[in-house]
């Protein structure tokens, strides 16, 4: 997803009130938004609900979206805040018995460490989105979905050597992009 592609779709959504442009924007960004929400809430159904809520909000705000300077960061923050709000809402509605609470862990993160972790995750999501389609698909299936090389090779109709080559290519590119932080 490039900034110019997104800007073009946002312009069509605003000027033409185009549902087709919105659908294209949705198809282009859904996976990224889902990964961001899932990072925070760790539940697939909740993540889907959060992302749909964010898209509804974006549709309602379509006339103002062109004024946003960095739409990518804006959307990241929207999804992050929606995820955190959803977690807070769910925690208020869930009654937890004291015996079912996990034992407190010794390790606690400072606000600075949490911020660094979130910034690194944002870089990772942006870098992942910049990978070629096949690289990204192989990487996500193996690293995030924990599928085996054989399973990925079979499902995608490619050899295990190709799976390995695509994974190595993805890892190399992700490392380069994140270390240089040249993701716009």
Domain match, 6 and 95 both: yes
**pLDDT tens-place string over residues 57-99:** 998 888 888 888 888 888 889 999 999 998 888 877 665 554 5
Q: Is residue 76 located within the same domain as residue 140?
A: no
Structure confidence at residue 9 as a pLDDT band (50, 70, 90)? confident
Question: How many independent structural domains does the chain possess?
Answer: 2
What is the 3 state secondary structure string of 45-74?
HHHHHHHHHHHHHHHHCCCCHHHCCCHHHH
Q: Tell whether 160 is covered by a domain.
A: yes
Model's pTM, two decimal places?
A: 0.62
Q: Are 65 and 9 in contact (CB under 8 A)?
A: no
pLDDT recorded at residue 25 = 87
User: Is there a single domain that holds both residue 86 and residue 140?
Assistant: no
pLDDT for 94:
63
Query: For residue 18, what are the domain limits?
Result: 1-99
- 178 contacts: CB under 8 Å, gap ≥ 6: 120, 123, 124, 127
Considering the domain architecture, whether residues 5 and 85 belong to the same structural domain is answered as: yes
Whether residues 81 and 136 fall in one domain? no
Supply the CATH number for residue 87's domain.
Answer: 1.10.1740.10
**DSSP structure string for the chain:** --HHHHHHHHHHHHHS--HHHHHHHHHHHHHHHHHHHHHHH--HHHHHHHHHHHHHHHHHTTTTGGG-S-HHHHHHHHHHHHHHHHHHHHHHH----GGGSPPPPS----HHHHHHHHHHHHHHHHHHHHS-HHHHHHHIIIIIS---HHHHHHHHT--HHHHHHHHHHHHHHHHHHHHHT---
Question: Which of 86, 74, 79, 99 lies closest to 36 in space, CA to CA?
Answer: 79
CATH number assigned to the domain comprising residue 151: 1.10.10.10
Over residues 114-171, the pLDDT tens digits come to 666 777 787 788 888 888 888 888 988 888 888 888 999 999 999 989 999 998 998 8
Please report the pLDDT score of residue 21 as a whole number: 87
What is the arithmetic mean of pLDDT over 23-35? 89
Mean pLDDT of 35-54: 91
Phi, psi of 63 (to 5 degrees): -75, -20
Evaluated on CA atoms 181, 116, 36, 16, the torsion sign reads negative
Please give the average per-residue pLDDT across 11-29, as a whole number: 85
Residues 90, 151, single domain; the answer is no
Give the pLDDT confidence score for residue 104 in this predicted structure.
47
């Amino acid at each position: 997803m490039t900034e110019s592609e997104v800007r073009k779709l946002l312009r069509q959504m605003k000027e033409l009130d185009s549902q087709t442009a919105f659908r294209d924007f949705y198809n282009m960004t859904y996976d990224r938004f889902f990964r961001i929400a899932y990072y925070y809430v760790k539940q697939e159904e909740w993540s889907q609900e959060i992302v749909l809520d964010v898209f509804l909000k974006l549709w309602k705000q379509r006339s103002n979206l062109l004024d946003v300077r960095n739409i990518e960061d804006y959307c990241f923050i929207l999804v992050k805040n929606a995820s955190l709000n959803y977690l807070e809402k769910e925690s208020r509605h869930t009654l937890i018995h004291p015996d079912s609470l996990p034992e407190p862990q010794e390790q606690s993160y400072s606000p600075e460490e949490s911020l660094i972790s979130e910034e690194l995750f944002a870089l990772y999501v942006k870098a992942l989105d910049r990978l070629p389609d096949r690289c990204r698909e192989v990487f996500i299936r193996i690293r995030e979905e924990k599928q085996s090389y054989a399973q990925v090779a079979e499902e995608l109709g490619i050899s295990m050597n190709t799976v390995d080559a695509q994974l190595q290519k993805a890892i190399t590119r992700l490392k380069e992009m994140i270390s240089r932080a040249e993701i716009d």
